[in-house]
Amino acid sequence: MNAPYEFPPRKILVPTDLSAASESALRYARYFHDRLGSDVLVLHAHQLDLPPYFSSGQLDTLKGELKRLERVAEDHVRRQSEPTLGFAPQTEIAEGSPVEAILRTSQKDPIGMILMGMHGYRGLQRLWMGSVTEQVIRRGSLPVLAVRNPPSDAPIGHILCPMNLSGPGRNALDYAAQISKSLKARLTVLHVIEHENEPPDCPLVDEETGKGCSIEEIHHRGNAAKTIAEAAKSLKPDLIVMGAESKSTVMGEFFSSTTISVMQLAIGPLLVVPSGPASSGSLPRDPIQ
């Protein structure tokens, strides 16, 4: 297996807005830390838009005050996070929009995953996801685990990996298999066949990828998002792992929109694996049939 991402990640980035949704993300981060030894970086971003009539002297004074307040904020974030995590995490305060701060911080080595809490919004309030989580997924280059509720006592015992035959689909399967092996979790691989010219029962898991995993393969025809939602409702997995193309190809837009649809259906924790770093050196994948 020549996967572009490795699990477990050495360090997990957890953006927080100090809400209940962020606390759910911190609880998952604690699980990965306790079970797999991953370090945790907690990030809080704030954006201050200054009026144009401020003089340069006023701006310098304000910037000095903001630096002092950043230290206070960092201490507050650490104290708020520590009881949930069970240890004192590394913390960072970033000035700027949450999306830009998350993307910028995620480039720091050795961060290998972003873990985000999603607010339980409905209707028009779903636009929150479009402004934060969805943008991080679309623009970022790391796996993103989006959670809405805190984990159970045994958070990840069964993984569902919906996939197609694209490169992002294969990357998601590689990553899901790594999680399965690391956490001793069952893995169900779902191939949703949307197009008539796709082979109905093509093999999904090669011998190397499946080595050390408890894997079941299932095949269904139909609309991808609807079929995945129905499978998740029936199988009740603890984690859904999906691939998403980061560039604007026909397949990429299709798969990204499917991923976002599954996220908005709120059917469980969703881990989105991007297409892979350009320098990953991953092997060429099978073309779309």
The predicted structure's pLDDT at residue 197? 62
Q: What is the mean pLDDT of the chain?
A: 80
Query: Given a cut of 90, is residue 126 above it in pLDDT?
Result: no
More reliable by pLDDT, 69 or 90:
90
Coil, helix or strand at residue 11: strand
Contact between 176 and 161 (Cβ < 8 Å): yes
The predicted structure's pLDDT at residue 142? 95
| pLDDT tier, 120 (very low <50, low <70, confident <90, very high otherwise) | low
- Distance between CA atoms of residues 133 and 168, nearest Å: 19
Q: What share of the chain is helix, strand, coil (3-state, %, to 5)?
A: 40, 20, 35
Query: Given a cut of 60, is residue 87 above it in pLDDT?
Result: yes
The predicted structure's pLDDT at residue 282? 34
Average confidence (pLDDT) over 24-43: 96
| pLDDT tier, 89 (very low <50, low <70, confident <90, very high otherwise) | very high
Query: Given a cut of 90, is residue 60 above it in pLDDT?
Result: no
pTM above 0.95, yes or no: no
Return the structure tokens found at 150.
């805190």
Query: Who's near 261: CB < 8 A, 6+ residues apart?
Result: 225
Query: Domains in the chain, ordered, with CATH?
Result: 1-150 (3.40.50.620), 156-289 (3.40.50.620)
- Distance between CA atoms of residues 74 and 115, nearest Å: 19
The phi, psi pair for 216, rounded to 5°, reads: -125, 135
Nearest residue to 14 via CA among 129, 140, 145: 145
Nearest residue to 272 via CA among 246, 245, 248, 242: 242
The predicted structure's pLDDT at residue 262? 75
Give the angle subtended at the CA of 23 by the CAs of 21 and 28, to the nearest 5°: 105
Query: Given a cut of 90, is residue 281 above it in pLDDT?
Result: no
